[in-house]
């Protein structure tokens, strides 16, 4: 037999056994260290975090105690003030209590008390913030009897018929040596309890006899603390066995609330022997300890995995890894080469596309300007044609002075057309030289005069609602009138075919100036694209789709906005366009430089 194939590796045979046992011993030592570290870390962190939680609970209890004392002290002053109120003394003297309850309600709103009651000398309620208590007799109630004896402000705790506890400060009302009645003010401690319930697990306040008078757990009121904790006993042994994995980091529980282990903290309240007891669960302690232990366990797991990885690695595996790495690098190199070539091709195509988009933008801007000129000059030309026909007719009838008025209007329209062509330069450059303070009412009147021929040619009812005072905005008057004319023209086109055609124009002020133009037409079907250039709902040849787009751009230049919506009131229809502009403030407008650029 050929024995040359027998392995001569020193790790095998007699020399291999000690090496294996040494590695196994190292792993066992690592596991023992891990278990010991986890156990000690759990014990130390549990004690530390539990103490931190207890300190925070005590600090929170001190804050709650201060809030409770502050509320009691604030309420204790109220009876002294109300006992000296001339209105209440006069009401008790004259037996006229018509306005007493209203006065007590007003005082309750100012001081934030739970309730205020006014009792006469017989104990009958003659004034109360709760009108259902009027006429109730409290002649035997402690808050009525004790003030009559001490002649000073008295604090009492009473149990009403509906359950719970009432905390009252009461004082006798004395005038000219004669006791007229008692004023009773209830302290609103339930508000504090509600705020505690949203932050702490369980809070109780006991009186000097150990009876719970305030608690975030309503079932505990009226019981002693041991009785309250026995309402729901601690979990059974079987239930505790299921909670071992969750509770193993907790310290020994002081008590159980709703089946949960809690720590108990007691704080003395310097008031009539009261005490505050706070219960805090160990949930936060468990979460913090478990998070740290998870990191420790993860660290040991990673270390153990590294040890197993070192044990399992062999030269053949390393060679295979190197070969795979080389193959991956070659594939990555080829992929990067292809991506570089693809990126260079895309960059070339992107440059061509950018040049195409720039050329398209120039052509679109040129078409938009041409369409804008046609759209904006069409209205003045139509008005001039109407005024020329009227002037010709007036001259034929020998009414020259009236014809001169028409020619004057034609001259104004020519001047307006020149101003419009100058304003259309804003497509290339925007300026603020024409900005000035403009009365929105005057601009509306000019626009209506411009639209007068179109409005008179049809039977349209115009309703104009404008204030008597000026509504001044800071803008370009010509461009403002341009917006109003576009809105009026759209309204006129929208009510074609309507029997009772009507347009309502409203000017109002608030934080901004508001111009509203509404019609009783069918409304707008596509509000989303309404202000897009070249979008129109009119028939071909009747509109370019630029009027509202241009008007919206002008409103933005003025620092305002143009919006549209359909009428939503019952029995009404049509579209409503609203132009909102900032009101003119001379202190903030120092010159044309503040105009739109």
Q: What is the DSSP string of 583-597?
A: BP-TTT--SGGGS--
Per DSSP, 252 falls in state: P
Beta strands across the sheet bearing 178-186? 125-128, 115-120, 178-186, 166-175, 154-158
Question: What local confidence, expressed as pLDDT, does residue 467 receive?
Answer: 93
Q: Are 83 and 150 in contact (CB under 8 A)?
A: no
Contacts 24+ apart (CB under 8 A), 583-586: 583/471, 583/472, 583/473, 583/509, 583/511, 583/512, 583/513, 584/437, 584/472, 584/473, 584/474, 585/474, 586/437
Q: Are 78 and 169 in contact (CB under 8 A)?
A: yes
Q: Mind listing the domains of the chain with CATH numbers?
A: 72-184 (3.30.450.20), 433-582 (3.30.565.10)
Name the residue among 100, 1, 29 with its Cα closest to residue 303: 29
What DSSP line would sit under 318-363, residue for residue? Answer: HHHHHHHHHHHHHHHHHHHHHHHHHHHHHHHHHHHHHHHHHHHHHH
Question: Could you report the average pLDDT of every consecutive run of 10 residues in the chain (597 residues)?
Answer: 43 50 72 80 72 76 85 87 88 87 88 87 89 87 88 85 81 87 88 77 84 83 81 52 47 58 80 85 68 78 76 69 85 90 85 58 47 66 84 85 82 76 49 76 86 76 91 89 88 84 91 92 79 66 66 88 86 87 77 37
pTM: 0.41
Question: What local confidence, expressed as pLDDT, does residue 515 receive?
Answer: 94
Rounded-to-integer distance, Cα 7 and Cα 60, Å: 74
The residue to which tokens 């913030």 are assigned: 129
Helix (H) or strand (E) holding 182: strand 178-186
Beta strands across the sheet bearing 512-519? 461-465, 502-509, 512-519, 575-582, 561-566
Backbone φ and ψ of 414, nearest 5°: -65, -45
Radius of gyration of the chain (CA): 45
Which SS3 state, helix, strand or coil, does residue 264 take?
strand
In sign, the C-alpha dihedral spanning 111, 112, 118, 119 is negative
Question: What local confidence, expressed as pLDDT, does residue 583 receive?
Answer: 92
Rounded to 5 degrees, what angle do the CA atoms 112, 75, 61 make?
Answer: 95
Question: What local confidence, expressed as pLDDT, does residue 439 receive?
Answer: 93
Question: What local confidence, expressed as pLDDT, does residue 231 receive?
Answer: 67
Rounded-to-integer distance, Cα 288 and Cα 555, Å: 58
Helix (H) or strand (E) holding 206: strand 202-206
């Amino acid at each position: 037999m050929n024995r040359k194939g027998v392995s001569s590796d020193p790790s095998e045979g007699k020399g291999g056994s000690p090496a294996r046992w040494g590695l196994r011993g190292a792993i066992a030592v690592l596991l023992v260290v891990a278990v010991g570290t986890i156990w000690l870390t759990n014990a130390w962190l549990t004690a530390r975090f539990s103490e931190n939680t207890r300190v925070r609970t005590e600090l929170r209890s001190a804050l709650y105690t201060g809030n409770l004392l502050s509320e009691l002290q604030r309420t204790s002053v109220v009876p002294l003030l109300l006992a000296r109120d001339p209105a209440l003394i006069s009401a008790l003297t004259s037996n006229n209590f018509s306005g007493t309850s209203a006065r007590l309600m007003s005082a309750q709103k100012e001081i934030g008390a739970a309730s205020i009651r006014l009792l006469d000398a017989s104990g009958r309620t003659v004034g109360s913030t709760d009108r259902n208590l009027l006429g109730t007799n409290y002649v035997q109630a402690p808050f009525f009897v004790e003030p009559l004896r001490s002649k000073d402000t008295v604090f009492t705790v009473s149990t009403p018929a509906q359950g719970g506890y009432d905390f009252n400060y009461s004082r006798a009302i004395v005038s000219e040596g004669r006791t007229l009645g008692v004023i009773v003010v209830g302290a609103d401690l339930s508000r504090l309890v509600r705020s505690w319930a949203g932050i702490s697990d369980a809070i109780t306040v006991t009186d000097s006899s150990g009876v719970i008078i305030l608690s975030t757990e309503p079932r505990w009121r009226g019981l002693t603390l041991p009785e309250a904790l026995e309402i729901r006993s601690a979990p059974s042994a079987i239930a505790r066995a299921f909670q071992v994995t969750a509770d193993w980091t907790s310290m020994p529980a002081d008590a159980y609330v709703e089946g949960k282990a809690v720590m108990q903290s007691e704080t003395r309240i310097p008031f009539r022997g009261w005490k505050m007891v706070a219960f805090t669960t160990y949930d936060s302690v468990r979460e913090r300890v478990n998070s740290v232990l998870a990191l420790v366990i993860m660290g040991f797991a990673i270390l153990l995995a590294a040890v197993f990885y070192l044990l399992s690695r062999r030269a053949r595996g390393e060679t295979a890894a190197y070969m795979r790495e080389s193959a991956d690098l070659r594939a990555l190199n080829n992929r990067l080469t292809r991506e570089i070539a693809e990126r260079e091709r895309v960059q070339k195509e992107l440059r061509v596309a950018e040049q195409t988009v720039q050329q398209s933008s120039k052509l679109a801007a040129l078409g938009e300007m041409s369409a804008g000129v046609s759209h904006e000059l069409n209205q003045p030309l139509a008005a001039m044609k109407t005024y020329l026909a009227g002037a010709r007719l007036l001259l034929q009838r020998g009414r020259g002075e009236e014809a001169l008025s028409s020619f004057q209007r034609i001259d104004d329209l020519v001047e307006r057309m020149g101003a419009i062509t100058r304003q259309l330069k804003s497509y290339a450059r925007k300026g603020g030289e024409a900005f000035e303070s403009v009365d929105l009412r005057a601009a509306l009147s000019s626009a209506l005069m411009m639209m007068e021929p179109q409005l008179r040619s049809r039977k349209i009812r115009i309703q104009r609602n404008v204030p008597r005072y000026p509504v001044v905005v800071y803008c370009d008057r010509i461009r403002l009138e341009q917006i109003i004319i576009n809105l009026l023209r759209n309204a006129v086109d929208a009510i074609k075919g309507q029997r009772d055609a009507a347009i309502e124009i409203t000017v109002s002020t608030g934080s901004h100036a508001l111009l509203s133009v509404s019609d009783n037409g069918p409304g707008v079907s596509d509000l989303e694209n309404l202000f897009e250039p070249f979008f129109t709902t009119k028939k071909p040849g009747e509109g370019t789709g630029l009027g509202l787009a241009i008007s919206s751009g002008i409103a933005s230049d003025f620092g305002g906005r143009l919006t549209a919506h359909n009428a939503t009131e019952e029995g009404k229809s049509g579209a409503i366009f609203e132009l909102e502009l900032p009101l003119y403030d001379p202190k903030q407008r120092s010159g044309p430089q503040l105009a739109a650029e």
